Structure 1
Amino acid sequence: ALGAMQTFRETSLSFGRLSAAFRFALMTLAGLLPVIMLGGTVLIWQAGQATPGDIVAAGAVSIRIAQMTGWVSFTLMQIYANIGEIEDGMRTLTPRVRVDDVDGAQALQVPQGEIALKNLSFAYGREKGGISDINLTIKPGEKLGIVGASGAGKSTLVSLLLRLYDPEEGRIEIDGSDTRQVTQESLRRAIAMVTQETAMFNRSARENILYGRPDADEAALIEAAEKAEAHGFIQDLQDHKGRQGYKAHLGERGVKLSGGQRQRIALARAIVKDAPILVLDEATSALDSEVEASIQTALERVMEGKTVLAIAHRLSTLTEMDRIIVMDQGRIIEAGSHDELLAKDGLYASYWQRQSGGFIRTQAAQ
């Protein structure tokens, strides 16, 4: 961070020096221009080749041009200042596609929801980091908890499941289908996701929930909101334009909602999507324990009948999982139920013992 700030400081100073030099040069020219033009016209008049009117016209034009130099310098410097922003914008809006569908890719069919990771490795093109040689089978309807310190590879695992990247080694199969051989659209349609930072739009509550499945009808919308325990507070919503209930807009990034309300909207979105696979990525870590407890019932409802992958630092949210895996340095080093892992007295047990308010002290795991 300090290095980046130093680079920014040096670049800003360099730009300031260039700007000052450019403006000084233009102002110098602006000062010399009337003298040169008027002086030249007077010399031509003395030679009998110009009239007094020509002198007046030359003076007026030169003064006007001199006055315009300030505007010209300001405009040019604004153009140069914005070139960098335009370049950044183009790089952001036109990135290389990370993955492409193979020719003849078929839509993914998920009759059961079994996920198999076979010899899976990915390190973002580096020699270290990411995950290494992961072998894991998640049975249909199984609820799997994933635990590990920061950098253990949890988020990499989810990114590969969503096929934001292709594995460098090994493969991921869903009900026997390699995720690289199916269309990305069908793959992501089969996976619902609730994250720590819920994506909210300054649209109506109805549109924010139906983002999970835009073609859902009103009955499915209401049912999803009720299961997520969001129906009650949504009915009480009212925005600054007087729109109420499901028509009320939620503000930029859901600013008009509390953290618990945003998570309930996210859970309703996942329920209405009704995907066979559900990923919970730190879904309640941004909430305090009281709010988390209040939405626990809604969380259980959204997991009903789904194959669930739940990443969490707050171990109390994983005690009811069918199985928990513990990751460290990109590998699975422990697996079992909550009680089995405590009995092993390994890394999971040390996490449990060192919890403070439900959070892992990651430094204790290093």
Structure 2
Amino acid sequence: MNNRRGQRQDGKPEAKRRKSELRPRKPHAYTGHGSSSSADHAPSPEGDLGSPSAFRQLPDGMLIAYLDEFGHVGPFMGTGHKKFFHNPVFGYAGILIPAENVRRFGAKFERLKEREFRNEIHDSGKHPRRWEKKGSEIFTSGSFARYPHRVALISDLGDYLHRLGGNYFYSGTVKPIGTTKMTGQTPAELTSKVLVDVVKQLCIYAERKGRNLTVLLDQGGPMPREDAITHMASFIYSAKEPEMKRIIEVPMQLESHRYGAMQYADWLCAITSRTVHYHFTDSDEFAWAPGAFKDIFHSWATAESRILVPETHSSVRTGTLIHPKKWINSNFNTQVRPAGASLQHRVGDALNLHAQQ
């Protein structure tokens, strides 16, 4: 109500107040020494963030897991098989990072990506923030030999992630040898089984850190994941373990070309795929992979990271994966399995059985 003509109760002239109310507000500016907060230009993470202690002083908040798939979800018969030769392991890998540091890591990733792949980005005609380099292209034997310095680049990003309070994570399982008909396990069932275990391990980590958790997956995964996520919702909301309360929602899916952290997870999945292929098959095609895996992962993988070996009721962890000696040829492998039951022999047995059917 007006006290007198042109004057409001708060004493401010009505015309001036109306003008100020209609004036557009300035958008929220990023305060981490960056110059831009638009979708295409991530803020610069540089400034007073070089000290690890600076990150530890940040308040507690949400943990974000960016995960992609490694290995292969389909059947495996052996490296010499015409159809089912891809990888004997399937799992998920990526990064865990406090939510308050996601933008800083994303900015660092985009800047290094744009510098390293500037020619390919230019030739593509795409905006640098909408262009991605697949890890499967970086970690081929030919590319590794031609661009060995890229391992150091990816390792530097890992060091920065670690200083931001983040870690690497991977979890997978060795698949039974044989076709779907022979093993009785479909890709959808395998995806569901592995994803449930992944979320369990992530929740244990989150409980240890005293943080809640959000899990983000690359949208480019196989169709069986849809059924797995549906099953995951039932599992999460019915779980009784205290640590399972840490995850706030079922895993969500993102388009990787829009998120640098997800692209980085893809790179980690690629070197993990090469490494497990070397350790769990008779092929030496990726003999260089354990060394690259060691340089990238260092000691930054969570304690929960491992490859399950159901046949032996055991698991293979980082210390074994970085070793140049194949796991299938290790003393541990030959001791826990009956004589003649090595992975190579089981492949042969499966092929013989298949030929007899």
Q: Smaller-chain TM-score range?
A: under 0.3
TM-score, normalised on structure 2?
Answer: 0.25
Greater relative contact order, per chain length (Cα 8 Å cut-off, separation 6+): 2
Bigger-Rg structure (1/2): 1
TM-score, normalised on structure 1?
Answer: 0.24
